[in-house]
Structures are given as structure tokens and as C-alpha cells.
Structure 1
Amino acid sequence: MRILTTGGTGLIGCELVKCWLDQQYQVTLLSRSAHKALALFQSHRFSDRLSAVENLSVFSDLNDFDAVINLAGEPIFDKPWTAQQKDRLWQSRLKMTEKLTALINASQTPPTCFLSGSAYGYYADSGEQRINEQQSAGQGFTAQLCQQWENAAQQANIRVCLLRTGMVFSPKGGALAKILPLYRCGLGGKLGDGNQFMPWIALEDMVNAIDFLLHNSACQGAFNLCSPQPVQNKQFNQLLAKQLRRPAWARVPAFLLRILLGERASLVLESQRLYPEKLLKQGFSFQYAELSNYLRATFGKSPINV
């Protein structure tokens, strides 16, 4: 299989590339620095099957690829949502997706599938209501961003899967890696009242789910990529602190989070009780459905060194 992927040097993308190289696929990365991208995988077996390009302008079509995976996008939580930053978030997702869609539609023998990123921010704050893929979109900034992102991908005239991703947990990077030092120092705690549900997914399951969607031609449309057992923020706090053998009595009030984070506070205070209904119906099996099992497998019985 010949795969073109964007975002291949990120947390998820790196593991996907390794997964596909292990299957002896031909993988082409789109990266701002082809040399640096290739260097990340130089010690991996079958790295000779990997290539990189720095701009989509080198392609007039995508006839030479069997699949396109689109994971590119400016990190959404790292910087305040100024008007300028919102535009960067918008453009980094829409422009790339629109370019890929145009290249797919310009192909005489196009790829068979297009897997394109989205996020749980597509949905509104739903409290304790369980959310499957049929739930309508919210009205806020992230919901509008995800809707436009998905709409751009759906213009491709091939099988399209939309990846509505939860919080991807890994000690290698992402949200979990960032908060581990706080918990290790005993400064962990719940956010707001802690009742908000957190849609999460282990990195291992995220990679396996994307690979599953790639290979199953019956899979099409939006998919919630999250554990079937989301947890409330207060439960997450208790489980992680217990696993690391640290106290976690701190609490950050909602009003303070809104002052410190502005609009970004919605990402940690709103409740999205996502359920991966379509993925489960297609027969996907999670390695880590329960957070306690994931934390035990990842960190063992001893506190992690960060």
C-alpha cells in the first residue's frame, strides 16, 4: 500500500508511520522539513520505504497513492485564542484539507480512501448525555472549526472517514505528558467541579483504530475515536494520583480557568461523554477500554519518573 500522510511527525503520526513501515507499506510524509522528518525514522526497520516532500505543489494529482491520511493542524491548546491565532488554527486545517481534496478529485485513479482529522470539540457541552456520531454539532469556536474541517474533507469523491478524536493519552507527549510533572509533585487536582466527562483514548488504540479504518472499506463518515468508557475529570484525577502514589487535593476553580485560559477553558470544562458507537459496530476491539487498566499498564506499580 502507498500512503501519503500529513502530520506524520506528531505524536499520533509518528506511531502510525512506524505501524505502516512494519507492514512494509510505502509511506510519503508531507513535512516543512523533509530532512528532519526522515531523520526521526532513520533507525526504524524498513525506513527505506519512507520518503518525504515539503510541499503539495510537487503533485498535480494523487494517482500514485492508495490512501491519504490528514492529521495536520496547528496545536489548539498551546496558545491563547487571539484573532490571529484563531485564523492560524482555521487556515492550518482548512487549507491543507482543501488542497488534498482538490488533488484527490484531480486524480484519474484516485486513492481509495481519505482519513481526515477532526476532534471531540465538534460537539456541544452535553453534561451526562452519551454522545454517538449522530449527535449534532455545537455552536462554539471549536465546533465551527471542526464542522468546516470535516466539510472540506467530505468534498473528496472517494471513501472519507472523519476522525473525531478524544484526548490522546501517552507518556510520550500530549496532555497526559504535560500534566505528569504536576501530579508527581503532588500538585494534581480536579478542574472546576470535576464532573465534566473527558473523552480519552490511549495512543495505542488511536493508532490501531486509524489502521482499522484504513483497511475496512465498509467504514465511512464520522467516527468517535475515544474509549467506550469516558471518565469524569474528578475520576481521572483520583485514578492518576493513586497510580502515581501522590496526593491530588488541588482544585482549580472554573472562574480562574476562564481568567487564565479565556475561551480555551471550554476544552477542559465542558463535558463531552463520547461513545465510539460506529467503531464498535464495525468490530473494532479496544486494547484499553478502562482508564485504570491503561494507567496500570503504562506506569506499573511504581511512581513514574518524569
Structure 2
Amino acid sequence: MKILIAGASGLIGSALSQLLRSRGHDVARLVRRPARAAGEYAWDPAAGILDPQAVSGQDAVVNLSGSALRLRPWTRSFKENLASSRIASTRTLATAIAAAEQPPGVFVSQSGSAYYGNRGDELLTEESSTGDIFMADVCRKWEQAALGAPCRTIITRTGIVMTPRAGALPRLLVPLRLGVGGPLGSGKQWWPWITLEDEAAALAFLLESDLSGPVNLCAPEPATAGDLIAALAEELGKPARFRVPEQLLKAVLGDLATNMVLVSDRMLPRRLEEAGFAFGQPTVREMARWVAQQLH
């Protein structure tokens, strides 16, 4: 397949590009600078600039664009950029696909588990309603922008991607490896999770599936924040007794705490499993073992 990726240099994009190339696919990427090599196409997503020729003739387009979720207080300008970097880039891609002479057969566009808001212990599938927090609103608009593409469109509602390379996990591992880690808040909030290896494999699987619409990308074993941290601590041979109070997290992290860290989403990958995807690390124990292996 000929596959064009937006966000190919990011955490998920890099892993996906490597996997696809190892399977013999032709991977091109969008870059926010002048193209300097074969397989690169320049674009300016914020300005809505992308030559439809970049997507014309591609078998698939994968959208992984969006600014990083920083582990620090979210200022007003950061929240605006967080939303626009996702929505504008997706709208730019959908518009280019609509204008292409030979549009791709499939458009895979990232969204997030935050679509569901803060739902406590409720089991969440792709048919569940959306939530009312800031990030749920971002995800709704993000997904709506993707639906402007006139081809088979898959919306991937991704949970926390577990890898020691980047993202949220390294920040959790630092205190754990020092022996001063522990649950965040009550630890009873459900964190939908998936290893980076399974995230890339699931995206590759979806490209060749016949699915469309929303697909939850998370492991089939739901786990609370406390379960995840305890499993990682045990695998690392460290204690996990130092709880960070909820009120302290809200005071220090603000909207990040109420939109990500303390949010509870007991999400299930129903459509992915029904389509026949096989997880490499389906349980918390296997995830923790895989993470520990990546550290060596």
C-alpha cells in the first residue's frame, strides 16, 4: 500500500512508519517545512494549506497530528493551541482528500479516550455517548472535521499509550524507579491503556480492515490508575505507597488534572476485537513486563 502519514515524526507515527515499512508498504509523510527528500510533502495545517496532489493516488492517509499534552498547567493559549492543532490539521487533510483526483481508499484519523469525558465505572464502547469536559469537546470537533473526507473514515479513540520512550509513562516511571511513586488521586479512576507496540499494530490492522467510524484503541483488560502503577512498580521491584492527593493534583495541574489525570474512562475495544485484532500485550501484567523489557 501507499500510505501518507501526518505526524509521522511523533511517538505513534514513528512506530507506525517503522512497522509499515517492515511489512513492505510505501510510507510517505507530511512535513511542516519545505520537502527535502523523496516521500515528503510540505503542508501548513494551521493555514489550511495542502496540495491535493499529496493525497491523490495514496491508498491510505493516516492523521496523527496534534500538539503534545504537556504535564504542566494548561494556560488559555495552550488549550487554544491544543484544540486548533488537532481540528485545523484534520480539516486541512479532509479538504485535500475531497479535492484529490484520486482520493485514498481510507482515512484513519486520531481522536482520544477523552471523547467520553469522566464516566466513573461505566463500561464504554464505541456506542457510548460523549462527555462534557474540555477535552471531550475537543475530541468531538476533531472527529467531526475528519468526517468531511469523502472516503472510508476510521476515527481512533486512543487511550494512554504505554512506552518508556516518550509520552506520559516516563513521568510516572521516574518516581517509581526512585521508590517514591504511588497512585495519583484515589487511584480508582479507570485509565484506558495500550502499549505502543499494540497501538502501531492496531493502526496497521485498521488500514486493511473494512471498518469505518469510531474504534476504541485500548487493551481489552480495563485497569485503574492504581492497578497500572502497582503492576509497573512490582515489575520494577519498587514500592508504590506514596499517594498524590487529588486536591494537590488539581491545585498544581489545573485543567490537566480534571481533563486527563483524574478522568475515569473504563473503555473497551469492542469493535477492534470483533474485527479479529490480536493484542500482543492484552493484560496489565504483560504490559508491565513489556515496559520493563524496553528499559533494558
Length, aligned pairs only = 290
* Cα distance change of structure 1 residues 153 and 304 upon mapping to structure 2, 3 Å threshold: closer
1:190 CA displacement: 0.4
CA apart distance, 1:79? 4.6
Structure 1: distance between partners of 2:250 and 2:7: 30
Match of 1:206 in 2: 199
Match of 1:260 in 2: 252
Could you tell me which residue of structure 2 aligns to residue 177 of structure 1?
Answer: 170
Whichever residue aligns with residue 178 of structure 1, its letter is R
Matches of 2:145 and 2:218, distance apart in 1: 23
Asked if structure 1 preserves the Cα contact closer than 8 Å seen for 2:162 and 2:291, the reply is no
Residue of structure 2 equivalent to 1:228: 220
What is the identity, as a one-letter code, of the residue corresponding to 2:136? A
Q: What is the deviation of 1:304?
A: 5.0
Q: 1:135 is matched with which residue? A: 128
Measured in 2, the distance between the counterparts of 1:131 and 1:93 equals 23
SS in structure 2 at match of 1:201: strand
Q: CA deviation at 1:16?
A: 0.7
Inter-partner Cα distance in structure 1 for 2:207 and 2:34? 24
Q: Distance in 1 between matches of 2:203 and 2:122?
A: 26
**Paired residues of 2:71 and 2:253 also in contact (CA < 8 A):** no
Q: Distance in 2 between matches of 1:33 and 1:9?
A: 13
For 1:156-214, what per-residue CA distance to the aligned partner results, in whole angstroms no more than 9, with x for missing partners?
Answer: 11000001000000121111122212111011110111111110001111011000100
CA RMSD of aligned residues (A): 1.8
Q: Which deviates more, 72-81 or 192-201? A: 72-81
User: Is the CA contact (8 Å cut-off) linking 2:50 and 2:92 kept in structure 1?
Assistant: no
Report if aligned partners of 2:108, 2:154 keep a CA contact under 8 Å in 1.
Answer: yes
Which range moved further: 126-135 or 55-64?
55-64
**How far off its partner does 1:228 sit?**
0.8
The answer to whether the 8 Å contact 1:132/1:224 transfers is yes
Alignment equivalent of 2:269, drawn from 269, 276, 280? 276
Relative to the length of structure 2, the TM-score reads 0.93
Q: Judging changes above 3 Å, is the alpha-carbon distance between structure 1 residues 249 and 219 closer, same or farther for their aligned structure 2 residues?
A: same
Deviation (angstroms), 1:152: 0.3
What do residues 219-267 of structure 1 show as CA deviations (whole Å, max 9, x unaligned)?
A: 1000110001121111112111111111111111101000001011021
| Corresponding position of 1:91 | 84
Point out the more displaced range, 93-102 or 230-239. 230-239
Aligned to 2:96: 103
Question: CA 1:58–1:151 in 2, change beyond 3 Å: closer, same or farther?
Answer: closer
Give SS of 1:99's match.
helix
Q: Which residue of the other structure, out of 50, 60, 64, is the alignment partner of 2:52?
A: 60
Shift of 1:107: 1.7
**3-state SS in 1 of match to 2:4:** strand
Per-residue deviation, residues 13-33 of structure 1 (Å, max 9, x unmatched): 001111121122222111235
Q: Compare 14-23 and 268-277 and name the one that shifted more.
A: 14-23
Percentage of pairs with the same residue: 36
Query: Aligned-pair distance for 1:78?
Result: 4.0
Q: In the TM superposition, what is the alpha-carbon distance from 1:297 to its structure 2 partner?
A: 3.4
SS at match of 2:86: helix
Offset at 1:58? Answer: 5.7
Match of 1:158 among 151, 161, 165: 151
Query: 2:217 and 2:124 mapped to 1: Cα distance?
Result: 12
Instruction: Give yes or no for the alignment of 1:299 onto 2:292.
Output: yes
The AA in structure 2 aligned to 1:8 is A
Aligned 8 A contact 1:79 1:85 in 2: no
Mean Cα deviation higher: 275-284 or 289-298: 289-298
Q: Which amino acid aligns with 1:74?
A: S
Give the AA of the match of 1:24: G
> Which ranges of structure 1 fall in alignment gaps of 5 or more residues?
39-49
Match of 2:27 in 1: 27
Cα pair 1:244 1:304 within 8 Å, conserved: no
Partner of 2:18: 18
The answer on 1:81 being equivalent to 2:69 is: no
SS of the equivalent of 2:254 reads: helix
1: CA distance between counterparts of 2:133 and 2:84? 17
| Amino acid of the structure 2 residue aligned with 1:94 | I
**Deviation at 1:87?**
1.2
| Letter of the structure 2 residue corresponding to residue 7 of structure 1 | G
